Structure 1
């Protein structure tokens, strides 16, 4: 099975290094020196990692045969793909590969059906489940512990505890300006005081 593990960013320096947007929780395993990765588009690969280092919080890679900035810049936006055994599991207890989460049914804690995971979007701050609802619309659910309370691979479901407004129209709008504007009309005292 093939998994996207990174996207190549811009060239760094003049010796062929590139920045990469890491899309794996195991970069040391998937993006280490000597790793040979397929690419999307396939015509640009495979690429063999010659070296890697972290600079200012970003992973920089150099590939065999890429020796200057121009060659590195030509690799921009290419996806790097690793071949992974489908039975292999991530090392962390609460970690999952995308293929394990795809097509899971999403339900609330009380069993209400929300939809089915059709895509996982990897953002710098967090991952998002793209969930197709029964009516064909989509909802984005942050894959964070406070919202996604359980992943049950045997039952093929993800249980969520959504805040108001995430999957429905019950959002609570809190505005200090609205509270202040309403307080005098309601016969209350706008300031805090003792009775």
Structure 2
């Protein structure tokens, strides 16, 4: 099974750099020159089956990556939307507190009393903390901070996430 490490965004410079949305808890360890990722891109896009990092840096809190064989902005533009993946067996970290989006999507979301609240629709990776994207039973989409005080139990094997939402958390999403 492959895990999503990053999604490529727009080109950043004339020298083939691209912005990336990191989906890893260890970007400093993953985004290093020489690291190679399997790609997942639209059929016929011309994106290589794998990309190797030539250079990696942060600029104003955004990761910028340059890849071998992508020398300019035109080549970088062709990478937009490409997912960078690693095979799960290639994972070197052992982060028991970390979750991959594919482990979470579809899990049932319950309140502490066991009442259904909705389902997990995704994972929003943030700089300070990650958030569960939850579709409530009424169809409203909310972002739930993935912190133990609000998400006291997360069990992908059982297919359940318990959310102890503070007052008003869901109301904010319904009003917006």
The TM-score with structure 2 as length reference comes to: 0.74
The ranges of structure 1 where at least 4 consecutive aligned residues each deviate by more than 6 angstroms after the TM superposition are none
Q: Mind listing any 5+ residue stretches in structure 2 that lack a counterpart?
A: none
2:146 equivalent in structure 1: 144
The equivalent position to 1:60 in structure 2, one of 49, 61, 64, is: 64
Q: Is 1:106 matched up with 2:109?
A: yes
Show the counterpart of 2:131: 128
**Shift in Å at residue 39 of structure 1?**
2.5
Using a 3 Å threshold, how does the CA distance of structure 1 residues 155 and 139 change in structure 2: closer, same or farther? Answer: same
Distance 1:129 1:40 in 2: 25
- Displacement of 1:154 in angstroms is 4.3
Q: What is the Cα deviation at residue 89 of structure 1?
A: 9.1
Matches within 5 A, 1:10-25: 10-25=10-25
Change in CA separation of 1:53 and 1:121 when aligned onto 2, cut-off 3 Å: closer
Match of 1:49 in 2: 53
1:83 aligns with 2:87: yes
1:119 Cα deviation (Å)?
2.6
Judging changes above 3 Å, is the alpha-carbon distance between structure 1 residues 149 and 89 closer, same or farther for their aligned structure 2 residues? farther
Judge conservation of contact 1:18–1:62 (CA < 8 Å) in 2: yes
The 2-side partners of 1:90 and 1:34 are apart by 15
State the shift of 1:78 in Å: 2.7
Residue by residue, what CA displacement relative to the aligned partner does 1:34-64 show, whole Å, maximum 9, x if unpaired? 3132132254232222232334433221111
In 2, the alpha carbon distance for the partners of 1:89 and 1:130 equals 27
- Aligned position for 1:37: 38
* Corresponding pairs, count: 168
Question: 3-state SS of the aligned residue for 2:80?
Answer: coil
1:7 and 2:7 matched: yes
Shift of 1:162: 0.9
Deviation, 1:65, is 1.0
The 1:168/1:65 distance shift into structure 2, 3 A limit, reads closer
1:36·1:48 contact (CA, 8 Å) conserved in 2? yes
Asked whether the 8 Å contact 1:115–1:132 carries over to 2, the reply is yes
Q: CA deviation at 1:125?
A: 5.8
Structure 1 unmatched runs, 5+? 172-195
> Please, what is the CA RMSD of the aligned residues?
3.1
Task: Supply the distance in 2 between the matched residues of 1:98 and 1:157 (Cα, whole angstroms).
Answer: 14
